[in-house]
Amino acid sequence: MKSHVPSYVFKNRFGVFHFRARIPKDIREKYHIKKEVIQKSLRTKDQRTAMNLARVLWVKMSENNWLDEIEDKCAQDEQELAKGRRLYHELNKIANRTDSLQSDVEEYMNTLASSEEQSLKKFAEYANEREVEKETQETCRPVQQVTPAVVEPVETPQETIILSKAYEQFVDWKKNDWRPETTKKSAAAVEQLITIVGDIPCNRLTLDHMKTFRDMLMKLPSRVDLPPYKGKTYDEILKMEIPDTKKPADKTLKNKFGYVLSFLDYCSSDGYSVIDHRKVFEQFKKKKKVSKVRMPFAPDELKRLFESKEYQTCTHNTIAHHWIPLIALFTGARLNEICQLAKSNIKRDEESSIWYFDINAEEGRSLKTAAAIRYVPIHDQLIELGFLEYVDSVSDGGRLFPMLSKNSKGEYGAQISKWFNRTYKSEKHCNIEIGQGEMKDFHSFRNTLINTLKQKGVPVASAKEIVGHEDDDITFGRYANPLDLPNKKKILDMVEYPSIDFGKIKYNI
């Protein structure tokens, strides 16, 4: 098997490797931690060295409960820094008054509790470590000596990097998790933030800035890039008469605010921003709505689907219509994961001789989450139906289904989804029955496999690994080794669909 860099190792835009691990939800809730990940520089550009260092950290997390200790420390440090930052700004206001005396500074320090003095000292040390440009002496007079026995000399507040630079880092961090459409929408939302508040240092961002951004976005048309608004400044647009039909819907606002808040969460976790940016947007919290439940296909529905005229006579319009539902039935893979497969993604393990799908994000392929990167054994039923013969017929270096094209969102599966809904769900063909409050579509193949594994008694963690679901369980999701191919195959060998007579399915190369 070809070695690959584990998900907990990544390289930043300067080529330096970092260790990163997601904090399980139960740990975050237990210790009241907002940060979702631990991140630590491995201080090397050499991949082999980075891999060795990262494995040591991973083992420490697993064996020595390092995660809990670090999380506890992170939470305490963040609270202490926030307190110290507030005291620091108050202290500088006193020191920078035109009529300020050294005795005023000393009097202020005498009013602080010992814990506040410690927080102030901690923030001063943190600020001095930041490698950013210092403010000039003309802009702000520095505090000289502030009770030397208690706290080290404090310099003027240092500005962090500007919003646009922070966003570049954020995008670099998220690029492996985002789809092209997400990248585009996030960039547009943050660009509007910067247009409204200015490309200021992150630590200069205030709640007033965020209120201005919120209120202006609610008044502006949803598409400022189209006539008659194109080319005008926001102030000019607001002077125009904007019909309510042109203003953004609540859902659009929630989505835009969500992208901005995600970016600001990153700024906060990296120490660039200090404000409670989410407070301004509380009214836009997404309300839980009663949504339809996606159901697995019933046995008789599967029979009608795969014993249809098209399958029995091999007369689908394209070969993609023939194989993609079958692959989904036996892998539980997402539609776009299947549609973007290349011939090179179909592999045979030299050790076990097991054929498998190598689902990855290489060569421009996009996946929903990091957990979606996985190996899935090819079910024996697919092999018996002639799948490997089809793979052999595909040109080397090509996609498995070259007849499918990307849509505007960069996805290959839209055509298949529409075809499936208008064909197999219609009364003329399989007449899939959908109850009240339920929904069935192509994604129901995924639910069908998951339900089958559940009925067979397969552990949840194992099922999640096969279908590419993230596992937040701290025991299995973070510390346990992933299943190997032979064990995955044993699980998938349990998958059977007795209602389908696969002998009726015909395939002609």
**Residue 353 region, left (φ>0) first, then alpha (ψ -120 to 50), else beta?**
left
Query: Does 495 reside within a domain?
Result: yes
Using the 3D structure, point to which of 235, 261, 284 is the last residue of a domain: 284
Q: 348 and 309, same structural domain?
A: yes
Q: 375 and 308, same structural domain?
A: yes
Contacts of 16 (CB under 8 A, 6+ apart): 41, 42, 43, 44, 45
Residue 29 buriedness (CB in 10 A; 0-12 / 13-18 / 19+): exposed
Q: How many domains in the chain?
A: 3
Which residue from 19, 4, 14, 7 is spatially nearest to 50, judged by alpha carbons? 19
pLDDT digits (tens, 9 = 90+) for 59-115: 666 654 545 455 455 556 666 666 777 777 777 777 766 665 666 666 667 777 777
- Residue 79: CA count within 13 A, CB half-sphere: 11
pLDDT digits (tens, 9 = 90+) for 215-247: 888 888 888 888 888 888 888 888 888 888 888
What CATH number corresponds to the domain at position 409?
Answer: 1.10.443.10
Q: In angstroms, rounded to a whole number, what is the distance separating the alpha carbons of residues 157 and 253?
A: 34
User: What secondary structure does DSSP assign to 161-227, as a single string?
Assistant: -BHHHHHHHHHHHHTTT--HHHHHHHHHHHHHHHHHH-S-BGGG--HHHHHHHHHHHHHS-S-TTST
CB 33 within 8 A of CB 49: no
Using the 3D structure, point to which of 234, 259, 284 is the last residue of a domain: 284
Residue 455 token pair: 């009925």
CB 163 within 8 A of CB 205: yes
Query: Does 253 reside within a domain?
Result: yes
Look at residue 79 in the predicted model and tell me its pLDDT: 63
Which residue from 179, 129, 123, 178 is spatially nearest to 151, judged by alpha carbons? 123
Residue 236 token pair: 């000019």
Q: 459 and 394, same structural domain?
A: yes
Q: 340 and 302, same structural domain?
A: yes
CB 84 within 8 A of CB 123: yes
Query: Does 145 reside within a domain?
Result: no
CB 192 within 8 A of CB 214: no
Q: 442 and 342, same structural domain?
A: yes
Q: 352 and 253, same structural domain?
A: no
pTM of this prediction exceeds 0.85 = no
Query: Does 102 reside within a domain?
Result: no
Regions of the chain with pLDDT less than 70: 1-7, 12-16, 23-38, 41, 43, 59-82, 96-108, 125-159, 270, 273-274, 283-291, 425-429, 431, 433, 435, 471-481, 509
Q: 382 and 233, same structural domain?
A: no
Domain that holds residue 28: 9-64
Query: Does 138 reside within a domain?
Result: no
Q: In angstroms, rounded to a whole number, what is the distance separating the alpha carbons of residues 184 and 161?
A: 23
Distances (CA, A) of 224 to 114, 152, 231: 53, 50, 8
Q: 356 and 250, same structural domain?
A: no
Q: 311 and 240, same structural domain?
A: no
Using the 3D structure, point to which of 257, 284, 311 is the last residue of a domain: 284
Number of H helices, E strands in the chain: 20, 8
Query: Does 113 reside within a domain?
Result: no
Cross-sheet strand order for the sheet of 355-359: 346-348, 355-359, 374-377
CB 217 within 8 A of CB 192: yes
Q: 244 and 212, same structural domain?
A: yes
Q: 498 and 374, same structural domain?
A: yes
Query: Does 417 reside within a domain?
Result: yes
Q: 487 and 378, same structural domain?
A: yes
Query: Does 4 reside within a domain?
Result: no
